[in-house]
Amino acid sequence: MDLAYVCEWEKWPKSTHCPSVPLACAWSCRNLIAFTTDLRNDDQDLTRLIHILDTEHPWDVHSMGHTLDVNLALRHLLFLLEYCMVTGYDWWDILLHVQPAMVQSLVERLHEEYTRQKAALQQVLSTRILAMKASLCKLSPCTVTLVCDYHAKLFLIAISSTLKSLLRPHILNTPDKSPGDRLTEICAKITDVDIDKVMINLKTEEFVLDMNTLQALQQLLQWVGDFVLYLLASLPNQGAPLRPGHSFLRDGTSLGMLRELMVVIRIWGLLKPSCLPVYTATSDTQDSMSLLFRLLTKLWICCRDEGPTSEPDETLVDECCLLPSQLLIPSLDWLPVSDGLVSRLQPKQPLRLHFGKAPILPGSATTLQLDGLIRATGQPKIDHLRRLHLGAHPTEECKACTRCGCVTMLKSPNKTTAVKQWEQRWIKNCLCGGLWRRMPLSCP
């Protein structure tokens, strides 16, 4: 059912045959349907009812109350979320009816329905369901840290698909697999912890790129390296589920994706050493890439899809405990500062909003849990998609996502084709699927 328009409040003459105050009209099966509240009987409180009037059959009026059983409400919400996930419609208005206590059940049931689908459909909907889970988890203080993980998974998938698309076969028009598919197959087959032994099984000529392109990709490669280091350093603290990155430690698919990217970065580093991630190490002779790949492979073997899952052994945990004394652990800006309305509407308090003016929003219970993870007001801002530091008061025009708060520059500072290909992905929508709004230059 597509919403056609929302009517103004009009007090029609009271009649026994038609409702008095129309709220909204929608098209369904070529029939115009009006959603109305009934004010005909002044002596009865019927304002809590919604009536559906079919214009082809004006005498056929159906009523539905607002109050639903919790399980019935969950089923209705799940059906609407599945409909939005398949059709691509925005699910913002559905979130208005989700209570914080429903979030965990909705996320679990949505994942169950997703896993029942065919593999081809799962691949098509893989990023959309992550964005939907992230917006749901933002509504509850108990699941708000999962928003960080879902946002990072979306970014990881985008980087992986972009970097793999840059690989070209050495001989054109070959019926063989694409270089990206061959990379995934070889990395899944070879479980060696030595990154150089994995690298020699690949056709390195497929990874040759222009030097300027490799240098322009350095910021994205740096994020991959920092993310791997952060995950491995947080392995000893895996008993704390509220810590961001917790779900990655048992996600064999994401760890395998990071392992593939580490191999690609290693090969590109041989061509252009300045494109490698920069680590602050205590020893000048330490090979940080080899160390991280070895630990990442051991962790990936424990939870990969092809074999039985197991807990990380004590040796791996001990080695990860030593990482802070060997490398400087980066502080990741996990989640952009979000000024969305959905989480503020949970207490059901009215908000006064004006077009063209930034709203003064009350605090949200979900943001309190992330005070140590997001950037404060006076701290330097970052371009979340290009991974560029913008300073505390950016001089370039920027746009921000209306859903997750992600910030990026309007104009591209890059001229290489590969980076433009990356930036073209985010012209219409953000990483999470939200729409953009222009940020004023004077924004603090």
50-83 pLDDT per residue, tens = 444 455 555 444 444 556 678 888 999 999 999 9
Q: Is residue 365 part of a domain?
A: no
Residue where one domain finishes, among candidates 39, 65, 91: 65
My answer on whether 84 and 36 are in the same domain is no
Of residues 321 and 138, more confidently modeled: 321
Q: Is residue 148 part of a domain?
A: no
Q: Is residue 361 part of a domain?
A: no
Q: Is residue 150 part of a domain?
A: no
Query: What's the pLDDT tens digit per position in 178-229?
Result: 888 999 999 999 999 999 999 999 988 889 898 999 999 999 999 999 999 9
Least confident among 104-118, 149-163, 298-312: 298-312
My answer on whether 80 and 40 are in the same domain is no
Is the pLDDT confidence value at 111 over 80?
yes
Is the pLDDT confidence value at 389 over 70?
yes
My answer on whether 178 and 88 are in the same domain is no
> What b/e sequence results for 47-70 when a residue is b if at least 16 CB atoms lie within 10 Å of its CB, and e otherwise?
eeebbbbbeeeeeebeeeeeeeee
In angstroms, what CA-CA distances link 383 with 30, 59, 333, 441?
46, 57, 11, 14
Structural domain harbouring 103: 70-137
CB 344 within 8 A of CB 366: no
Of residues 178 and 357, more confidently modeled: 178
Q: In 190-276, which residue ranges form alpha helices assigned H by DSSP?
A: 195-199, 211-216, 218-233, 252-271
Tracing tokens 């092809």 back to the chain, one arrives at: 306
My answer on whether 116 and 51 are in the same domain is no
My answer on whether 42 and 190 are in the same domain is no
Residue where one domain finishes, among candidates 107, 137, 167: 137
Per-residue confidence (pLDDT) for residue 78, from 0 to 100? 93
Q: Give the mean pLDDT of 87-111.
A: 89
Q: Is residue 149 part of a domain?
A: no
My answer on whether 254 and 185 are in the same domain is yes
pLDDT-based confidence at 2, cuts 50/70/90? very low
pLDDT-based confidence at 161, cuts 50/70/90? very high
Domain count, the chain: 4
Per-residue confidence (pLDDT) for residue 299, from 0 to 100? 95
Q: Is residue 355 part of a domain?
A: no
Per-residue confidence (pLDDT) for residue 413, from 0 to 100? 86
Is the pLDDT confidence value at 30 over 70?
no
Per-residue confidence (pLDDT) for residue 336, from 0 to 100? 61
My answer on whether 88 and 60 are in the same domain is no
Residue where one domain finishes, among candidates 36, 65, 94: 65
Q: How far apart are CA 257 and CA 300, in angstroms?
A: 10
Q: What percentage of the chain reaches a pLDDT higher than 90? A: 39
My answer on whether 204 and 301 are in the same domain is yes
Q: Is residue 358 part of a domain?
A: no
My answer on whether 309 and 199 are in the same domain is yes
My answer on whether 21 and 8 are in the same domain is yes
CB 215 within 8 A of CB 205: no
* Phi and psi at residue 438, to the nearest 5°: -75, 135
Token couple for 225: 């390296």
Tracing tokens 């990482």 back to the chain, one arrives at: 323
- Give the neighbor-by-neighbor strand order of the sheet with 31-37: 2-6, 21-28, 31-37, 49-54, 57-65
Is the pLDDT confidence value at 436 over 60?
yes
My answer on whether 44 and 89 are in the same domain is no
Whether the model pTM is above 0.85 = no
In angstroms, what CA-CA distances link 299 with 111, 220, 259?
24, 23, 10
pLDDT-based confidence at 35, cuts 50/70/90? very low
Q: Is residue 143 part of a domain?
A: no
My answer on whether 32 and 54 are in the same domain is yes
